[in-house]
Homo-oligomer: A and B are copies of this chain.
Amino acid sequence: MTEQQYGYFDDQHKEYVITSPFTPTPWINYLGNDGFYGLISNTAGGYCFYRDPKFRRLLRYRYNNVPADQGGRYFYLKSADTVWSAAGRPVQTELDHYECRHGLGYSRFIAKKAQIRSELTCFVPLGQTAEVYRLELTNLDAVSRQVSLFSLLEWCLWNAEDDGANFQRNLSTGEVEVDGNVIYHKTEYRERRNHYAFYGVNHPIRGFDTDRDSFLGPYRGFDRPLAVERGQAGNSLAHGWSPVASHHIDLQLQAGQSQTLVFVLGYVELPNDQKWAAPGVINKAPAKDLLTRYDSAQKCQAELDRLQQYWLSQLNKFQIETPDKRFDRSLNIWNQYQNMVTFNLSRSASFYESGIGRGMGFRDSNQDTIGFAHMVPDKVRERILDLSATQKKDGSAYHQYQPLTKKGNANIGGNFNDDPMWMVLSTVNYIKESGDFSILEARVGFDDEPGDFTHFEHLKRAFEHVVNHLGPHGLPLIGRADWNDCLNLNCFSEDPNESYQTTQRGASDVAESLMIAGQFVLYGNEFVALCRHTGRTELAAWAQQQVDNMVEAVNQHGWDGQWFLRAFDARGRKIGSAENDEGKIFIESQGFCVMAGIGLGDGRARQALDAVSERLACEHGIMLQQPAFSGYDKYLGEISSYPPGYKENAGIFCHNNPWIIIGESMLGRGDQAYEYFARISPAFLQEKQRLHKTEPYVYSQMIAGRDAATPGQAKNSWLTGTAAWCFYTASQYLAGIRPDYEGLRIDPCIPARWPGFKAQRTFRQALYEIEVRNPQGLSKGRVELEVDGEAIEGNLIPYARFGGRHRIVATLRTAD
| A347-369 CB contacts (< 8 Å) to partner B | 352-354, 356-357
Contacts of A536 in B (CB 8 A): none
Cβ of A144 under 8 Å from chain B: no
Cβ of A557 under 8 Å from chain B: no
Interface contact A63-B164, CB-CB below 8 Å: yes
| A220-269 CB contacts (< 8 Å) to partner B | 220-223, 237, 239-240, 242
Q: Given known contacts A171-B715, A353-B167, A715-B171, is B63 in contact with A280 (CB within 8 Å)?
A: no
Cβ of A789 under 8 Å from chain B: no
> Interface size bucket, A side?
35 or more
Q: Given known contacts A496-B188, A497-B159, is B641 in contact with A171 (CB within 8 Å)?
A: no
A529–B451 CA distance with the chains assembled, in angstroms: 62
Interface contact A239-B709, CB-CB below 8 Å: yes
List the one stretch of A189-197, A681-689, A753-761 in contact with chain B. Answer: A189-197
List the one stretch of A67-75, A382-390, A565-573 in contact with chain B. Answer: A67-75
Contacts of A642 in B (CB 8 A): 172-173
A213 CB to nearest B CB, Å: 9
B interface footprint on A634-655 (CB within 8 Å = 1, 0 otherwise) = 0000001111001100010000
Contacts of A167 in B (CB 8 A): 63-64, 352-354, 716
For A69, give its contact among B172, B219, B716 (CB under 8 Å): B219
Interface contact A646-B172, CB-CB below 8 Å: yes
A53–B630 CA distance with the chains assembled, in angstroms: 30
Interface contact A356-B172, CB-CB below 8 Å: no
Interface contact B716-A643, CB-CB below 8 Å: no
Chain B residue nearest to A21 (CB atoms) is: B219
Cβ of A166 under 8 Å from chain B: yes
Contacts of A630 in B (CB 8 A): 279-280
Cβ of A460 under 8 Å from chain B: no
Interface contact A240-B643, CB-CB below 8 Å: yes
A22–B641 CA distance with the chains assembled, in angstroms: 43
Contacts of A239 in B (CB 8 A): 643, 646, 708-710
A237–B710 CA distance with the chains assembled, in angstroms: 11
Interface contact B172-A647, CB-CB below 8 Å: yes
Interface contact A497-B166, CB-CB below 8 Å: no
Cβ of A815 under 8 Å from chain B: no
| A636-678 CB contacts (< 8 Å) to partner B | 640-643, 646-647, 651
Say how many copies of this protein the assembly contains. Answer: 2
A279–B644 CA distance with the chains assembled, in angstroms: 14
For A221, give its contact among B67, B168, B356, B701 (CB under 8 Å): B67
A274 CB to nearest B CB, Å: 16
B interface footprint on A393-410 (CB within 8 Å = 1, 0 otherwise) = 000000000000000000
Contacts of A701 in B (CB 8 A): 168
Interface contact B219-A497, CB-CB below 8 Å: no
Contacts of A171 in B (CB 8 A): 352, 715-716
Cβ of A691 under 8 Å from chain B: no
A133–B45 CA distance with the chains assembled, in angstroms: 37
Contacts of A498 in B (CB 8 A): 192
A747–B496 CA distance with the chains assembled, in angstroms: 54
A88 CB to nearest B CB, Å: 10
Q: Given known contacts A165-B357, A630-B279, is B65 in contact with A219 (CB within 8 Å)?
A: no
Interface contact B221-A66, CB-CB below 8 Å: yes
Chain B residue nearest to A52 (CB atoms) is: B497
Cβ of A801 under 8 Å from chain B: no
A351 CB to nearest B CB, Å: 8
Cβ of A538 under 8 Å from chain B: no
Contacts of A494 in B (CB 8 A): 192
B interface footprint on A1-44 (CB within 8 Å = 1, 0 otherwise) = 00000000000000000000110100000000000000000000
Cβ of A212 under 8 Å from chain B: yes
Contacts of A356 in B (CB 8 A): 165
Interface contact B62-A190, CB-CB below 8 Å: no
Interface contact B354-A165, CB-CB below 8 Å: yes
A402 CB to nearest B CB, Å: 10
A20 CB to nearest B CB, Å: 9
A601–B624 CA distance with the chains assembled, in angstroms: 81
| A314-336 CB contacts (< 8 Å) to partner B | none
Interface contact A190-B641, CB-CB below 8 Å: yes
A237–B68 CA distance with the chains assembled, in angstroms: 20
A98–B166 CA distance with the chains assembled, in angstroms: 33
Cβ of A727 under 8 Å from chain B: no
Q: Given known contacts A64-B164, A239-B710, A353-B168, is B643 in contact with A493 (CB within 8 Å)?
A: no
Cβ of A204 under 8 Å from chain B: no
Contacts of A188 in B (CB 8 A): 496, 641
Contacts of A643 in B (CB 8 A): 172-173, 175, 190, 239-240
Interface contact A168-B641, CB-CB below 8 Å: no
A169–B498 CA distance with the chains assembled, in angstroms: 14
Cβ of A480 under 8 Å from chain B: no
Interface contact A632-B496, CB-CB below 8 Å: no
Interface contact B716-A352, CB-CB below 8 Å: no
A21–B212 CA distance with the chains assembled, in angstroms: 19
Q: Which of A66, A493, A702 has the most CB of B within 10 A?
A: A66
Interface contact A222-B66, CB-CB below 8 Å: yes
Interface contact A191-B496, CB-CB below 8 Å: yes
Contacts of A709 in B (CB 8 A): 237, 239
For A632, give its contact among B64, B71, B191 (CB under 8 Å): B191
Chain B residue nearest to A633 (CB atoms) is: B191
A411 CB to nearest B CB, Å: 10
A residues neighboring B (CB under 8 Å):
21-22, 24, 55, 62-71, 89, 92, 154, 158-159, 163-169, 171-173, 175, 188, 190-193, 212, 216, 218-223, 237, 239-240, 242, 279-280, 352-354, 356-357, 493-498, 630-632, 640-643, 646-647, 651, 701-702, 708-710, 715-716
Q: A89-B219, A165-B356, A240-B646 are in contact. List 6 more A-B contacts (CB 8 A).
A: A55-B497, A166-B357, A172-B715, A173-B643, A192-B641, A279-B630
Q: 27 A-B Cβ contacts within 8 A? A: A55-B496, A62-B62, A63-B164, A63-B167, A65-B65, A67-B221, A159-B496, A165-B357, A166-B357, A168-B353, A168-B715, A171-B352, A172-B642, A172-B647, A172-B702, A172-B715, A173-B642, A175-B643, A190-B631, A190-B632, A191-B640, A221-B221, A239-B646, A239-B708, A239-B709, A279-B630, A279-B631
The 6 closest A-B pairs by CB, nearest first: A191-B632, A192-B496, A239-B709, A191-B641, A172-B646, A193-B496
